[in-house]
Structure 1
Amino acid sequence: MGAELRAVLMQQPRQWLWVFTALPSAKCPVAARQISDRRALDYLKTVLKKLKLEGHQHTFRHSFISHALTHGVPEAIVREWVGHVDARIMKTYTHVADAISQQAMLGLFGDDGDKPSEDR
């Protein structure tokens, strides 16, 4: 969660434990119960469609993992956060970190591949 989103959520009046809650219904009259994963995903799809944005829940997962890895979070910790992703699958996420790493390395040597100057 980014700092801006966290700030917005923290400013919201807090009535219940959960940020997103399901309304009481005949089937489940409990107030302020946690919304189901399925309902949250359905709502996400609706919002993305209204905003005319492509993507789905997995897009957010991929972005989160890539973002964490490129910001130096150790792979073992990221795997713990996202549910012990298989090492093979994790490779598909780490390619983003590898590309950013390569770009950073190229930036050290300039466009022509020469050694960095003394003033860099």
Structure 2
Amino acid sequence: ALHRKYPNAAKEFRWQYVFPSKNLSKDPRTGAVRRHHVLESGLQKAVRVAVQRAKINKPVSCHTFRHSFATHLLENNVNIRVVRQLMGHTDIKTTEIYTHVMDKDIRKLSSPLDNLENNE
């Protein structure tokens, strides 16, 4: 799925920086030794093993972490435009999807005036 959304991910340095492989490998054509990125399947397997060890009985995938990241940012009052940029969305409506899962319990909301007392 990732390769459809980001077809050049395997070639981009930023992906190799975020998900580096443990081992170096030798390019058979040039002989250059490089550290490549982990395979998507390897990351998925690591998440699956972690979920099993944590005894989580709900479906969890790498994408679950992406959704959780965006939701927690919004719950912590990060500007939705910043979240849109971090998530790589072009349309703000895509980012707004994350607002439907936020904890909207009105009893947990605080007035901006309450924060004035805490800053004194």
Structure 2: gaps of 5 or more residues = 1-15, 110-120
Corresponding residue for residue 24 of structure 1:
25
Alpha-carbon distance in 2 for matches of 1:32, 1:25: 6
Alpha-carbon distance in 2 for matches of 1:23, 1:31: 6
* Alignment TM-score, normalising by the size of structure 1: 0.54
How many angstroms does 1:47 deviate by? 1.4
Aligned length: 85
* Alignment TM-score, normalising by the size of structure 2: 0.54
**Mapping of residues 46-61 of structure 1, within 5 Å:** 46-51=45-50, 52=52, 54-61=59-66
Deviation track 1:43-95 (CA, whole Å, cap 9, x = no partner) reads: 12111232325322211110110011111110001111111253332222011
Pick the aligned partner of 1:62 from 67, 74, 84: 67
Corresponding residue for residue 71 of structure 1:
76
Alpha-carbon distance in 1 for matches of 2:73, 2:36: 26
Q: Which amino acid aligns with 1:83?
A: G
Q: Which amino acid aligns with 1:75?
A: I
Corresponding residue for residue 33 of structure 1:
35
Alpha-carbon distance in 1 for matches of 2:43, 2:34: 19
**Mapping of residues 40-119 of structure 1, within 5 Å:** 41-51=40-50, 52=52, 54-97=59-102, 100=103, 102-103=104-105, 105-107=106-108
Corresponding residue for residue 116 of structure 2:
none
Structure 1: gaps of 5 or more residues = 1-16, 109-120
Alpha-carbon distance in 2 for matches of 1:64, 1:70: 10
Structure exhibiting the larger radius of gyration computed from Cα positions: 1
Q: Percent identity?
A: 28
